[in-house]
Structure 1
């Protein structure tokens, strides 16, 4: 078990980067793993894959990346106590990435949260945090008085990201944000996690962006979103706003063939496909997702599935 009290000593360094002491796992245990909590792209909720969310765990400290609908339940299903989450990173303010942001913190509080959670995201995350607590003011203050719970509002410490660069540095992990286009959204960040066991990059939702390959250069694992064009064509045929939706999807996501180009250019050791667009077409096979990727990338390719774990080093 780790000593969570050590996390209370958090403070901001001279450069404005959050610097927090490391908490170490027992010798001989696997230090770094990725848990794919939700792998379906888009805001629709179905009975299949859950909406976007990922987890990096280093020395038993969980770092949550995005908070799509269902993330609280997925954490529980993965055997990760919700109050153990100490850091949240939001890539952008599409609802499938931030809809359960406040609620996952509330659910941590309901399960006994008593230590801080630091959250990072594009401009607006600080305002969203204040608004969430205002929305739930009656419930929170009632439970503080009626149930003797600590006030959760000071425990969620949000920070807007307004530029590329390091946003968090501990003795174990350095997290760097990188702006990548997701039209029409410009405040959209990929994240790089440099850990003792290797480097992990999460692409965020992104249009094809060769500069992302530079950001991910030499990474051990690149988790990249993907779009399968034939399935998009089928999707828009049964959608009232089909033409508009197709333009958005094609302009703001990366085709499987282009994902292969990014992975090859970056020279990553392992490519993980996730945030599947569309993510709920049962006729799309695993081979469909990987076929065009392999035209350009000859390395290891993994298709993420909900609750799949990947341990580093891979």
Structure 2
């Protein structure tokens, strides 16, 4: 049903928004290709980015159609309305700058890097992977979304323009190369983190029970542990036990729940608690603080 949950948006509204965003990005890249027509390599990149965005648009539209038909797209991620409006406004502004002829190549690449680092791509990855698992797409997010971003990264690095490379690197996650443990019996938390960190070289290990989680913590060094409290078999008792096995995890344990985070038992536990559905940026911030 199309309602907000705690100020967050349900999936149908988000997939409809993704349709608009992907279509707008494709249009902007097409307009830019016409403006920079004499730069063959740049135009080739812009055409490829446009083609990618159109594929993303088709995937988002397919997801919206399935949801409208009563198919459930289970997800513990969400977005703020303000963030969604910002992305749409940004793309409208970018289109206006391109059409007015007020865009240099370096300036355009700065804008493209900005838009490609936004949460719309994280959510697009989640949607694409869901469609792929359900048999509605031939490719997963690694191919359709990360490949798109990798194209941009490779081109920017080939230019050897330090300001652009520095701008590109600011979008990289500080969790690159780190190992996380995800504790969830239904797999939704793991799928969400896979989407957020697609292509970021973040290693995700999974456990479906508290016993399995403690066994892994005892054998492996983890940068952080995230657990879904609402899934049967998992509870807050996991965390004190984990800290006993691995004291350095004391401040690196994150719990997701549908219960109010103001619940005194959470506040007294000292745990970092996120309420589901959790905003993409909220999850990133929580993990970045532990980097």
Structure 1 length-normalised TM: 0.32
Q: Which structure would you say has the larger Rg?
A: 2
Structure 2 length-normalised TM: 0.34
Structure showing the higher strand proportion among its residues: 1
Structure showing the higher helix proportion among its residues: 2
